[in-house]
Chains A and B, each alone.
Chain A
Amino acid sequence: MSAISHVHDLVRRRTVDVHSLHGQFAELDQQREAASLGMWVFLVTEVMFFGGMITGYVAYRSAYPEAFRLGSIHMLFMAGTLNTAILITASLFMVLALHAAKLDNRKVLVWCLIAAMFLGICFLSIKGYEYWDHWVEHKVPGASFQWDGPDPRHAELFFVLYFFLTGFHALHMIIGVTAVGIIAYFANKGRYTPEYHNPVENVALYWHFVDIVWIFLYPMLYLIGHRHL
């Protein structure tokens, strides 16, 4: 492009940058690193949160392995596997979105975010279907729980863990989908540039974390009862 439009471009970016830099920071780079560090520290708290529940799972599974195996057989294996594929694909779209932000490709950025959002909603819908199925099959812990195998009490414990783990995960998914939606809206308005796209990076980080939690939950809940294919 011509020299003038190039300078014009730089000026536009500088103006945008100055608006994005907050007072306590000296440079955009410092601000970006701070925002990123903040999100990583927050994710540590999330690891500890899920870690507590996973500890509970480990404790009970080592005490009652057979009951847990039998409980796992009642999971909807296809739904869980499909959901895993969906979530990993959604993460791929988040990676592509971040890449597009770095390359100033607004259209690709917005569409990748929307794709991730859509896949997230698919995940939640399939999860909802699974919950409904468990309800109909009397596998929801509480008064309506029915179990006609051995060791009903510990089988019910498996389901308690299933609902708590996937329930908290789903809650985080809802937050994630909302966050991605908000980012998509601002991305569409041109808020993000190669110099400043912290929110995209940090929402992507959060999304990847929620994905990784699922990657732990899937084998813990779905694979311990099923034969390997």
Chain B
Amino acid sequence: MATEVEVPQHITQEIPAAESDYLNSEYGIKSWLLSTDHKRIALLYLFSITVMFFVGGLFALIIRLELLTPKGDLVQADTYNKMFTMHGLVMIFFFLIPSIPNVLGNFLIPLMIGAKDVAFPKLNLMSWYVYNLGALMFVYTICTGGLDTGWTFYTPLSTGFASSNVVVGALSIFVVGFSSILTSINFIVTVHKLRAPGMTWGRLPLFVWASYATAVIIVLGTPLVAISMALVALERFFGIGFFDPLLGGDPLLFQHLFWFYSHPAVYVMILPGMGVISELVTCFSRKKVFGYSSMALAILGIAVFGFLVWAHHMFVAGISVYSAMVFSFLSYFVAVPSAIKVFNWTATMYRGSIYLLTPMLYALGFIGLFTIGGMTGLFLASLGIDVHVTDSYFVIAHFHYIMVGGMVTAFLGGIHFWWPKISGRMYPEMWGRIAAGTIFIGFNLTFFPQFVLGYLGMNRRYWEYAPQFQVLNVLSTAGASILGIGYLLPLAYFAWSLKYGPRASANPWNAAGLEWTVPSPPPTHNFKESPIVTTEAYNYEDLPRDIEIPREATVVGH
């Protein structure tokens, strides 16, 4: 068709800012640092985790640079060991676990359920300060000798042999875990008690279901990592034995306590992402989700089964054959709900009306990369194969496909999708697509070769490696550089959009969900009156058919 596309008003015309929104209701640093508004706290968290993401990324950069050559010629062995230890700890505890829940969850959950705030706003602010305390303790650890035990802190290496700052490091994890627990308590009570009239459990957006299940996992699991860290710190500080074989202690007890948390933790690091993807795929297919009940049940199924499989990290650790067989069997069960979700997202697209806008590109990336990551999980659950590939680069590739290809992708997709709501501005679509593509290409180039390397026999946590592995390592590092650029782009254009991006209307995507019924950005108390909900979630049949595709941002003024 040759006719001009009519450019909708909300893009080119300057929209006067709302009378008062949560961003401009109060000014000054104190109003931010002492805010109990869940939306401001979400942005405080966004700031903290972005800083920590680049700290963790810096460690990754050093790892990949060292691995360009088989010999250890960039840094010393001890330094390298600190790099991978701290990369893991920062990325897991200070970036991934808080990312979607504390940024998007904090911002969106009250809005999505029709509430004015979370159940305990002051506790919410305290969570952020506890996070910062943990982060500060960790930065202190980095600056005073670092940590070189591996993120898994296995005993007796961590308790009796490591010469790095184990006690403070372990305690920093204890503290940041506490921050997660406080947020999760808040979310659980919020979802139970503050839903607007008519917002039944069966009408909740799947993002809320996912956030709720994640919070339950955190509440049940995190205390175990807390006790693991506390016992390691105590054993090391007082020189007494709990995991010390010389005292009759059992190093495997540490592994059981540690993995009892750390396995469910990986579901903490994917379920919120799955919640985001459900929101994106439905909006950009203009359709309700396929199999809402199954999707909600699958979320709960992942949470429950996630607690039953921890010893699949210990198949070669010295557990009994029968124990290993039980854990392998159960590990296959946790794969089924994940598969259901992938199939249901695909079926949601069936006979939809699909827009390939940036958030949807991220969602599609998630589906592909999470599928690959999940499939390789099936390899690891198979005892015969796991014996060979555990502790190799195969495992590293597997979990990066899920955590980076899955969770980080979903996080970025969510940030793009809800950016207009959060900031009141549109990001530039062309740059969004460029960044999404760059990240996808960079990611695959970085991590796919690592599957091959693992099966070939390249160990994880190796500073030097056998020369025949070099070519694949160089490919991997090349990919990492591309990936790094891909991550810097959104930082740049989101910042740009704050001043120059076109102002967004309340619902630029014509999306379903209560958060889109309030102005962009929302007022401090979200809703003037409590909304009354009468429809199911994803009621796209009631909403405008089309999304008006955002044009390139012109300098509209501010």
A–B proximity contact (CB within 8 A): yes
Residue numbers of A with Cβ under 8 A of B are 22-26, 30, 33-34, 37-38, 41-42, 44-46, 48-49, 51-53, 55-56, 59-60, 63-64, 141-143, 153-154, 156-157, 160-161, 164, 168
- Among B117, B185, B220, B248, which residue has its beta carbon within 8 angstroms of that of A38? B185
Q: Known interface pairs A141-B241, A153-B247, A153-B248. Does A24 touch B530 (Cβ–Cβ under 8 Å)? A: no
Distance of A60 Cα from B192 Cα, bound (Å) = 40
Shortest C-beta distance, A35 to chain B (Å), equals: 8
In the complex, whether B472 has a CB less than 8 A from a CB of chain A is no
Report yes or no: A59 in contact with B250, Cβ–Cβ below 8 A: yes
- Number of chain B residues whose Cβ lies closer than 8 Å to a Cβ of chain A: 46
Report yes or no: B222 in contact with A45, Cβ–Cβ below 8 A: yes
Shortest C-beta distance, A149 to chain B (Å), equals: 14
**B115 (CB) vs chain A CBs: closest residue:** A24
**4 A-B pairs with the lowest CB-CB distances in the bound complex, closest first:** A52-B227, A49-B223, A48-B223, A24-B117
Q: Known interface pairs A52-B224, A154-B248. Does A37 touch B242 (Cβ–Cβ under 8 Å)? A: no
- Among A22, A30, A33, A52, which residue has its beta carbon within 8 angstroms of that of B257? A52
What 0/1 pattern do residues 418 to 440 of B give for CB contact below 8 A with A?
A: 00000000000000000000000
Besides A34-B194, A37-B192, A153-B248, 17 new A-B residue pairs in contact (Cβ under 8 A), listed by A number: A24-B110, A24-B116, A24-B119, A24-B121, A33-B193, A38-B120, A41-B185, A45-B222, A48-B219, A49-B226, A52-B223, A52-B257, A56-B231, A56-B253, A60-B249, A160-B247, A168-B230
Report yes or no: B224 in contact with A164, Cβ–Cβ below 8 A: no
**B181 (CB) vs chain A CBs: closest residue:** A45
19 A-B pairs within 8 Å (CB atoms) are namely A24-B116, A34-B120, A37-B189, A38-B123, A38-B185, A46-B223, A48-B220, A52-B223, A53-B231, A59-B253, A142-B238, A142-B239, A142-B240, A154-B248, A156-B240, A157-B247, A157-B248, A160-B247, A164-B242
Report yes or no: A160 in contact with B185, Cβ–Cβ below 8 A: no
Chain A residues near B525: list those with CB within 8 A: 23
In the complex, whether B498 has a CB less than 8 A from a CB of chain A is no
In the complex, whether B228 has a CB less than 8 A from a CB of chain A is yes
Main secondary structure of the interface of B (DSSP, over half): helix
Which has the most chain A C-beta neighbours within 10 Å: B120, B239, B242, B253? B242
Distance of A38 Cα from B186 Cα, bound (Å) = 7
Main secondary structure of the interface of A (DSSP, over half): helix
- Among A34, A45, A46, A53, which residue has its beta carbon within 8 angstroms of that of B189? A34
- Among B224, B231, B246, which residue has its beta carbon within 8 angstroms of that of A48? B224
Q: Which chain B residues in 212-243 approach chain A with CB under 8 Å?
A: 219-224, 226-228, 230-231, 234, 238-242
In the complex, whether B304 has a CB less than 8 A from a CB of chain A is no
Report yes or no: A52 in contact with B228, Cβ–Cβ below 8 A: yes
In the complex, whether B533 has a CB less than 8 A from a CB of chain A is no
Shortest C-beta distance, B89 to chain A (Å), equals: 20
In the complex, whether B188 has a CB less than 8 A from a CB of chain A is yes
**B118 (CB) vs chain A CBs: closest residue:** A24
Distance of A37 Cα from B192 Cα, bound (Å) = 9
Distance of A46 Cα from B123 Cα, bound (Å) = 17
Q: Known interface pairs A45-B219, A49-B223, A52-B228. Does A34 touch B193 (Cβ–Cβ under 8 Å)? A: yes
Which has the most chain A C-beta neighbours within 10 Å: B184, B193, B238? B193
Q: Known interface pairs A33-B193, A48-B221, A56-B253. Does A156 touch B247 (Cβ–Cβ under 8 Å)? A: yes
- Among A24, A45, A161, which residue has its beta carbon within 8 angstroms of that of B194? A24
Chain A residues near B238: list those with CB within 8 A: 141-142
Chain A residues near B118: list those with CB within 8 A: 24
What 0/1 pattern do residues 175 to 199 of B give for CB contact below 8 A with A?
A: 0000001001110110011100000
Distance of A38 Cα from B222 Cα, bound (Å) = 16
Report yes or no: B248 in contact with A64, Cβ–Cβ below 8 A: yes
Q: Known interface pairs A52-B224, A59-B250. Does A23 touch B117 (Cβ–Cβ under 8 Å)? A: yes
**B252 (CB) vs chain A CBs: closest residue:** A59
Distance of A63 Cα from B246 Cα, bound (Å) = 15
